[in-house]
């Protein structure tokens, strides 16, 4: 018997990764001889990530392509990759993810969420109306944070910034009206959503790594035969690997594009960077203290980072 997986995302339909997703869905339909079909709802027509997850719970939707941060209540430690100023390069991201993605998949699976593909959204940069290079510069910021994202709220507060929670669809209006005067986002996202037209500066410091994933309700997934499940995993895994490679290039291009339209890139000095780093490390220990993320996962993450950097554990 045929299963149709209804999957929603806030991403607009025209994006190249959406085309890849649809192509992957078509391929799965072919390989399963029509036993598995996908119905994809793009552009936020089913609501934001939180709404999509609610609709999954009551069975109106079976899954979504969502920001990892929206799944924290299922498995808080998936935020391990979102810790501020910990990753320094894409090479580090790849090394750590090769060792820790499985832990996150297992953690979500234990909470009834099946995921078969993570994909990088990119490093988020601070874009603002006023120049920011030092920690004191942050005091005047009214920065957007995604609605219902506890880690983002904690981070922004620990840096002394006033967090303004908004639905992603309200950010542009927020920038236009002055409700917010700063956003933190990967360059390709800022460009696609036209936010770059309403800021004057971008601080050249990759603050936080952001990733997304395809999340499917376990009950819906388990109604599909084991062989067909394998086909879905294999095809979607490949699709999202391609998407990730492309996203990386898109972000580099977007970063250049943003600076060519008159948004000024600001460099952070070594002294300022040391200050940012100590604030970031403090916010990580606050997150552990508040129970938002487990000490065990943070230690594993930091141990992996140190081994990649060839450090012996003394920071």
Q: What is the pLDDT of residues 235-250, one digit of tens each?
A: 999 999 999 999 999 9
Residues 6+ apart with CB under 8 A from 242: 20
250-281 residue pLDDT tens: 999 999 999 888 899 999 999 999 999 999 99
**146 has pLDDT over 90:** no
Residue 147's pLDDT band (cuts 50, 70, 90): confident
List the beta strands (DSSP E) in 75-200. Answer: 113-128, 142-146, 162-166, 182-185
pLDDT of residue 234: 97
Residue 280: which residues within 8 A CB-CB, separation 6 or more?
83, 84, 85, 86
pTM: 0.89
**What's the whole-number mean pLDDT along residues 189-209?**
92
What pLDDT, on a 0 to 100 scale, did the predictor assign at position 315?
46
In angstroms, the Cα distances linking 121 to 132, 211, 307 are 23, 5, 25
- Length of the chain measured in residues: 315
Q: pLDDT digit string (tens) for 11-62? A: 877 778 889 999 999 999 999 999 999 999 998 899 988 899 999 999 999 9
């Amino acid at each position: 018997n045929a299963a149709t997986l209804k999957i929603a995302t806030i991403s607009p339909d025209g994006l190249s990764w959406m085309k890849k997703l649809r192509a992957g869905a078509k391929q799965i339909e072919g390989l399963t001889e029509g036993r598995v079909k996908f119905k994809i709802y793009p552009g936020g027509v089913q609501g934001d990530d939180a709404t999509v997850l609610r609709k999954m719970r009551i069975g109106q939707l079976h899954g979504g392509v969502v920001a990892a941060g929206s799944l924290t209540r299922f498995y808080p430690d998936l935020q391990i990759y979102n810790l501020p100023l910990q990753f320094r390069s894409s090479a580090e991201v790849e090394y750590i993810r090769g060792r820790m993605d499985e832990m996150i998949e297992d953690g979500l699976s234990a909470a009834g969420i099946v995921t078969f593909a993570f994909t990088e959204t990119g490093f988020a940069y601070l874009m603002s109306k006023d120049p920011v290079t030092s920690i004191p510069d942050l005091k005047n910021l009214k920065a957007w944070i995604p609605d219902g994202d506890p880690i983002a709220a904690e981070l922004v507060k620990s840096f002394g910034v006033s967090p303004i929670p908004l639905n992603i669809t309200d950010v542009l209006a927020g920038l236009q009206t002055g409700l917010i005067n700063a956003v933190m986002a990967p360059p390709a996202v800022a460009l696609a959503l036209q936010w770059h037209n309403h800021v004057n500066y971008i601080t050249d410091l990759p603050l936080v790594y952001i990733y997304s994933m395809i999340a499917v309700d376990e009950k819906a997934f388990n109604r599909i035969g084991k062989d067909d499940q394998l086909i879905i995993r294999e095809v979607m895994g490949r699709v999202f690997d391609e998407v990730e490679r492309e996203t990386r290039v898109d972000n580099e291009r977007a970063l250049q594009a943003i600076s060519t339209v008159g948004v000024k890139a600001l460099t952070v000095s070594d002294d300022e960077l040391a200050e940012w780093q100590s604030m970031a490390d403090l916010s990580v220990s606050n997150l552990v203290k508040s129970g938002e993320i487990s000490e065990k996962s943070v230690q594993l993450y930091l141990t992996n980072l140190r081994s990649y950097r060839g450090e012996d554990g003394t920071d």
